[in-house]
Structure 1
Amino acid sequence: MSAFACKDLTVGYGDGAPVIDGLELDMAEGAVVALLGANGAGKTTLLRALAGLEPARSGAVFLGGRDLTNLSTEDRVRSGLSLVPEGRSVVVELTVDENLRLGGLWRHRARARKAAVEEMYELFPPLDRRRDAAGHTLSGGERQMLALARALMARPEVLLLDEPSLGLAPQATAQLLGVLRATAARTGLTVLLAEQNVTGALSVAQRGVVLSLGAIVADRPAAELAADPALRHAYLGF
């Protein structure tokens, strides 16, 4: 059984044409899948629909065999699904430590929450050095680390990431993606990673899925996808 799947998923806005049209996707436990495509391909819409932020016109979403289709976003999080949206979403008025504790508020009791926070500091040493710093004082890379760490505090089974490297320096991007790959390998976390940084995404993924106009046009091993110049030129722009 798949760890995470959507079946015949169709999503659109208003009465317009569907942005996602009959999409089928299956992900195994512990898989890191790169979701690729040009701007406007439907990547963000797909992630928002999977997280329950956009209603689906039809189709279904499953996590470990559980049907999430009619659940709210909050209940999907409680079921083990977390989304880190584009934009380094942290509570800028709170400190790093407060953001992390907020992320684990409903998942952990106080002692376990403290241990989980310390685990995040081990994963992200730059955050450890900024424990008492307010979110608005962090660099772009630090904010993205905090957004990812806060999502991991909820102990998700499936993590959806929308453009985590956007605007980051190459070193920060490499560090972030490296932590993501190591966490998935160590914990069995399943990751769907939407990225414009195709090379970075394919370097940490086992598999690449290419979207074009709301449909999957390629679903292949990451190394094979990276080595196909015709496909890259046609759909990924390089």
Structure 2
Amino acid sequence: MSALACEGLTVGYGGAPVIDALDLDIAEGAVVALLGANGAGKTTLLRALTGLVPLRTGRIALHGRDLTAESTEDRVRSGLALVPEGRSVVVELTVDENLRLGGLWRHRRKALDAAAEDMYALFPALDRRRRAPGHTLSGGERQMLALARALLARPRVLLLDEPSLGLAPKATAQLLGVLRATAARTGLTVLLAEQNVTGALSVADRGVVLSLGAVAADRPAADLAADPALRHAYLGF
């Protein structure tokens, strides 16, 4: 069953399109790595899927429901969540206050408390710092908090934009490992835009390579990682 699909998606910012007539279909429960060089269109695609940039043409559907004309807020309420690049943490708030922002509209107080404890069990580093102000967190802790806050909202499809950017290898491995385990346990569908190609393919079922706003390759992750010609041409390793 398709969890997230787009057909004929064309997106731009005034000149030539950044995304050009793109088709993409992600099966329910799949983890898909969205790969490509800087400027390939990865961030623009994620922003278009969430309604943050308007479409020129095309259609977006979430579990068969047409989202094309819906607002970003309505897409979130339908189960689509985005963790943007940049570790979006409110630095004036504590870890716990930041975390609970993800569940304000979905959970009653008792359920929110339980959901928060689930996240602390998933991210022990955050549990140890739940009263710490956001500005005191390391880069890895901020990225964990951004991911935990998104998961707290119980999305059906999770979009992530460069979650490993600027992180140490150990923090990257931990974050991607939690993401893979959560998807396997809950059936969460994930679209993961990453420059860390090796890490992304290691946790993904499938890899989609963008080049100049179009799909250059769409293959099982293991096949993509094992194809030297494709890696050299599009992924730089």
**TM-score normalized with structure 2 length:** 0.99
Counterpart code for 1:91: V
Q: Which residue of 1 aligns with 2:199?
A: 200
Q: Which residue of 1 aligns with 2:77?
A: 78
Counterpart code for 1:63: L
Q: Which residue of 2 aligns with 1:6?
A: 6
Q: Which residue of 2 aligns with 1:146?
A: 145
- Equivalent position SS for 2:10: strand
- Equivalent position SS for 1:141: helix
- Equivalent position SS for 1:41: coil
Cα distance in 2, alignment partners of residues 216 and 190 from structure 1: 20
Cα distance in 1, alignment partners of residues 89 and 22 from structure 2: 31
Counterpart code for 2:6: C
Cα distance in 1, alignment partners of residues 120 and 215 from structure 2: 37
Q: Which residue of 1 aligns with 2:164?
A: 165
Unaligned runs of 5+ residues in structure 2 are none
1:26 aligns with 2:25: yes
Q: Which residue of 1 aligns with 2:102?
A: 103
Matches for 1:36-185 after TM superposition, within 5 Å: 36-185=35-184
Cα distance in 2, alignment partners of residues 8 and 115 from structure 1: 41
Counterpart code for 2:87: R
Counterpart code for 2:218: D
CA displacement at 1:127 relative to structure 2: 0.2
Cα distance in 1, alignment partners of residues 106 and 153 from structure 2: 6
Q: CA RMSD in A?
A: 0.5
Cα distance in 2, alignment partners of residues 61 and 123 from structure 1: 31
Cα distance in 1, alignment partners of residues 10 and 40 from structure 2: 14
Instruction: Give CA deviations for 1:68-111 in whole Å, capped at 9, x if unaligned.
Output: 11111111100000000000001111101001111100010000
Cα distance in 2, alignment partners of residues 153 and 124 from structure 1: 12
Counterpart code for 2:10: T
Counterpart code for 2:109: A
- Equivalent position SS for 1:13: coil
User: Between Structure 1 and Structure 2, how many residues are aligned?
Assistant: 237
- Equivalent position SS for 2:2: coil
Identity of aligned residues (%): 86
Question: Following superposition, which runs of at least 4 residues in structure 1 exceed 4 angstroms of deviation?
Answer: none
Cα distance in 2, alignment partners of residues 83 and 92 from structure 1: 19
- Equivalent position SS for 1:150: helix
Cα distance in 1, alignment partners of residues 111 and 6 from structure 2: 33
Q: Which residue of 1 aligns with 2:34?
A: 35
Cα distance in 1, alignment partners of residues 105 and 201 from structure 2: 33
Cα distance in 2, alignment partners of residues 151 and 217 from structure 1: 30
CA displacement at 1:63 relative to structure 2: 0.4
Cα distance in 2, alignment partners of residues 119 and 30 from structure 1: 20
Unaligned runs of 5+ residues in structure 1 are none
- Equivalent position SS for 2:106: coil
